[in-house]
Structure 1
Amino acid sequence: MIVSLLLLLLVIGTPIGIAFALIVMVNAESWNIDPFTLAALPYDTVNSFPLLAIPLYLLVGELMNRGGLVAQIISVCDIFLSKVRAPLGHIMIFASALMGAITGSSVATVAAIGSTVGSEMRKRGYPVGYVAALNAAAGLLGVLIPPSIPLILYGSIVGVSITKLFMASLIPGLLIIVVFCIIHLFLSRRVLKDGQEVRTEDTLPDIGAVRRPIQTVVHAAPALFLPVLVLGGIYSGIFTPTEAAAVAGVYAMLVTLISRKAGKGDMRGIFEKAVLATAAILVIIAFTSVFNRAMVLEQIPQGIADFTTAFTSNPMLFLLVVNIALILVGMFMETNAATLLMGPLLAPAAIRFGVDPVHFGVILVTNIEIGLLTPPLAANLYVAARTNNARLSAMMQYTWWFLGGTLLALMLITFIPQLTMWPNYFKAS
């Protein structure tokens, strides 16, 4: 009943943070929650060291955009993929993966890559609907490729190592990259005249020429070093994910200032954008913390676990049912809110079925990220449509292909745990 009312509020357009707050305030007495604690609990929740990574990674994304680091990454992708058929589509996919590996945000990835690669794809003969659909789909990599903001949230609220979650999501992220590249190879024969991109003298004027690969790589070295700094520092144990975000933020700021792509006066606008995006996320986290506390007091997670174990004793069937439920939730809820809501609700049941919480975290985030492509919420679709000046109707005929590929990858991730738990097998050997 509570979850149904929450979903109803979200469907009718109630802001996410307000929807959670209303549910809590209306039911505070029946949940035996002292209203005076409502001020302390949200603050205690957001006053968290792991959550500090969220504003820092969002700041890195803004700095990369303004500092020209995104264009540098694209120029390198263009060098290595120029001999592949329909290369710009592959460039969009790989550039989105690299952008996601730095910012952890799907929407930021869609906006940054769409505004740079998207315009060049249209020049080379791609239909605008296909460009926007590929842009929206490739943006999913911003959620799964580590560092990932939803994985940080899941690890914080469920009590799982964020570093382990990042390592577990590497192969699933690479799997989705491969799936998207295959789909693009297939669809490019349909959407391009004679299956080939139109090459003109003015294509990629700012992204670098393949004729100068060494100079382009050297020029892009500052951008290429950033994911090495972030991921290398995390996996080597030098940084925690939060510390890596801070180091990346300082590095991106220095590169931006030194390159003079943005001056000191521009920093205020960059910080304002990052702060506004952070505030929206943290408000959701603050109020979902009270909601999740109420769920625990009402023993909702235990009830779900009892119901599912009574419904079936088969872990495979349990995971199948959970996948369907999470996809439906992702259609109506924002990614971070869905992660914060469904993580603590379903993780106890998954553990009871013998599913490792790290594996389940990747399953959950992969499911919920699909909601970024499925209306009515579908944030990636709307951002890609606006960035590429495309109609949703023109996008959907291509979006279904990428959505189907993501669902196939989801099934593999769900039922082949070795794809996510590979660090354990590696240690065992």
Structure 2
Amino acid sequence: MIILLFVALACLLLVGAPVAVALAGSSLVYLLVSGKIPDIILIQRMVGGVDSFPLLAVPFFILAGNLMNVCGVTERIFRFANSIVGWTRGGLGHVNVGASVIFAGMSGAAIADAGGLGAVEIKAMRDQGYDVDFAVGITGASSTVGPIIPPSLPLVVYGVVASASIGQLFIAGIVPGLLIAAMLMLMVAVISHRRGYPIGERFSVARLLSSFMHASLSLMIPVIIVGGIVLGIFTPTESAIAAVAYVLVLATLVYRSAGWRQIMAVFRETIEMTSVVLLIVAASSIFAWILTREGVPTAFAGAVMAVADNPIVILLLINLILLVVGCFMETVAAITILTPVLLPLAVQAGVDPVQFGIIMVLNLMIGLLTPPVGLVLFILARVADISFPRAVKATLPFIAALLVSLLLITFIPALTLWLPSLI
């Protein structure tokens, strides 16, 4: 029956069915052929999969990210980051990473980072004489920081599926996110030195203060989100609502950079994106329930433990599985399906569920930079007007830096668990 389930899923995907339809359709085939489970279970499990208070954060974080892309926040962040690190050799590469770290504290989605901030970054780097391949590569790699540093849509979904604290997951992502940024900046420094990229404008305290004042209200967004959660003022879901309210005030009353037509267009886009995400979550939940009912997690854990009982080998195998899956499967679907399968195995290997959440999300974010799916690269290839294979090649050096970060986060638990233990 499990073979039938996966064959049906593969067939639906091969004929071009959307991921949600493929997951729900293959689950329905399983239910009909088994004959032991009422088909109404399909609907009940799908509804139950999205009937969760923490998932309310998903549409609001998506809305906040979309609003920031139309109200001028991204440009202000870029200018501020440029005043901090733009004076070094290859400065705009460092600015690219720094701006992504700041934007990561607002949007929580790699696609929002690539599509909004990425367009500003690539244009600025082109104008300064940087190779377009270098600009696309570092922009794609830095966008993966978005779902690691809080807030994070994938971590919200993981927290719901794994019954883990979303607040702890958010705090746990801060140090790994900064580590990834440092590794990418190191790679930028090496490449810039070899290629002789220009040195930016000299550091100026006056310019730093000016850009800070220009971006100060925008920089309050991550303070509201993270500070509110840490201080216990509101839950992660409520922090998303607070972020949307604040950005709306900025867009309409303070910056006055977005009219009601633009805001309504953002609302429509958010509804479409939210519908897709939650439909995938709903379809994935019934698929994951079938796997659990058939004992796949237990059987998989037993098979892996029979092959290798060394925790290091097990963690390497888990990372390899997630990297391969990330190349083919949409992030939310992969989290919903694989968490019940891989989390018990990771726990047996001594990994905390909070640490495993960061490991899983980073693996799947790297998948956004690899073919055949590579959604972030498709977006950046369109923004930079280059071919998809060229975008893939441009990202390879930075994927190496991401893989080193992944290994450090996997085998040094303190990088993930130290900060949550203090709060």
Q: TM-score range by the shorter chain?
A: over 0.9
Indicate if the aligned counterparts of 2:87 and 2:199 stay in contact, CA closer than 8 A.
no
Separation in structure 2 between the aligned mates of residue 53 and residue 31 of structure 1, nearest angstrom = 37
Separation in structure 2 between the aligned mates of residue 103 and residue 406 of structure 1, nearest angstrom = 20
For the aligned residue pairs, the C-alpha RMSD in angstroms reads 1.9
**Identity percentage over the alignment?**
35
- The equivalent residue for 2:247 is 252
Indicate if the aligned counterparts of 1:111 and 1:384 stay in contact, CA closer than 8 A.
yes
* Counterparts in 2 of 1:403 and 1:152: CA distance versus 1, 3 Å: same
Code of the residue aligned with 1:273 in structure 2: it is: E
- The equivalent residue for 2:112 is 108
**1:333 matched to 2:329:** yes
* Counterparts in 2 of 1:4 and 1:38: CA distance versus 1, 3 Å: closer
* Counterparts in 2 of 1:127 and 1:7: CA distance versus 1, 3 Å: farther
Code of the residue aligned with 1:399 in structure 2: it is: T
- The equivalent residue for 2:349 is 353
Give the Å deviation of 1:6.
Answer: 3.1
- Counterpart of 2:67 (choices 56, 63, 70) is 63
The 5 Å alignment of 1:100-249 reads 100-191=104-195, 194-196=196-198, 212-249=207-244
* Counterparts in 2 of 1:197 and 1:385: CA distance versus 1, 3 Å: farther
Indicate if the aligned counterparts of 1:97 and 1:145 stay in contact, CA closer than 8 A.
yes
Per-residue CA deviation, residues 383-423 of structure 1 (Å, 9 max, x unaligned), is 11111222234333331111111111111111111111113
Give the Å deviation of 1:292.
Answer: 1.1
Q: Secondary structure at the match of 1:376?
A: coil
Code of the residue aligned with 1:17 in structure 2: it is: A
Indicate if the aligned counterparts of 2:106 and 2:222 stay in contact, CA closer than 8 A.
yes
- Counterpart of 1:404 (choices 377, 400, 403) is 400
Code of the residue aligned with 1:113 in structure 2: it is: L
- The equivalent residue for 2:264 is 268
Give the Å deviation of 1:10.
Answer: 3.5
* Counterparts in 2 of 1:77 and 1:39: CA distance versus 1, 3 Å: same
- Counterpart of 1:387 (choices 375, 380, 383) is 383
The structure 1 segments of at least 4 consecutive aligned residues displaced by more than 4 Å after TM superposition are 424-427
Give the Å deviation of 1:197.
Answer: 5.3
Indicate if the aligned counterparts of 2:315 and 2:349 stay in contact, CA closer than 8 A.
no
Separation in structure 2 between the aligned mates of residue 358 and residue 53 of structure 1, nearest angstrom = 19
TM-score, normalised by the number of residues in structure 1:
0.92
Per-residue CA deviation, residues 308-329 of structure 1 (Å, 9 max, x unaligned), is 2222221111111111111111
Code of the residue aligned with 2:323 in structure 1: it is: I
- More displaced 10-residue stretch of structure 1: 214-223 or 173-182: 214-223
- The equivalent residue for 2:28 is 25
- More displaced 10-residue stretch of structure 1: 174-183 or 217-226: 217-226
**1:374 matched to 2:378:** no
Separation in structure 2 between the aligned mates of residue 212 and residue 313 of structure 1, nearest angstrom = 56
Indicate if the aligned counterparts of 1:69 and 1:222 stay in contact, CA closer than 8 A.
no
Indicate if the aligned counterparts of 2:69 and 2:117 stay in contact, CA closer than 8 A.
no
* Counterparts in 2 of 1:41 and 1:397: CA distance versus 1, 3 Å: closer
Separation in structure 1 between the aligned mates of residue 165 and residue 398 of structure 2, nearest angstrom = 31
Any stretches of 5+ residues in structure 1 without a counterpart? 200-208
Separation in structure 1 between the aligned mates of residue 17 and residue 321 of structure 2, nearest angstrom = 22
Separation in structure 2 between the aligned mates of residue 220 and residue 256 of structure 1, nearest angstrom = 13
- The equivalent residue for 2:296 is 300
The 5 Å alignment of 1:10-21 reads 10=13, 13-21=16-24
Per-residue CA deviation, residues 182-238 of structure 1 (Å, 9 max, x unaligned), is 1111112344xx431588xxxxxxxxx985432321121110111111111112221
| Paired residue total | 416
Give the Å deviation of 1:11.
Answer: 5.4
Q: Secondary structure at the match of 1:195?
A: coil
Indicate if the aligned counterparts of 1:10 and 1:332 stay in contact, CA closer than 8 A.
no
- More displaced 10-residue stretch of structure 1: 353-362 or 32-41: 32-41
Q: Secondary structure at the match of 1:142?
A: coil
Indicate if the aligned counterparts of 1:123 and 1:198 stay in contact, CA closer than 8 A.
no
Give the Å deviation of 1:12.
Answer: 5.4
Per-residue CA deviation, residues 51-108 of structure 1 (Å, 9 max, x unaligned), is 1111101100111111111111111111111322221111111111222221111111
Indicate if the aligned counterparts of 1:78 and 1:210 stay in contact, CA closer than 8 A.
no
* Counterparts in 2 of 1:393 and 1:352: CA distance versus 1, 3 Å: closer
Give the Å deviation of 1:288.
Answer: 0.6
Separation in structure 1 between the aligned mates of residue 6 and residue 407 of structure 2, nearest angstrom = 26
Indicate if the aligned counterparts of 2:136 and 2:394 stay in contact, CA closer than 8 A.
no
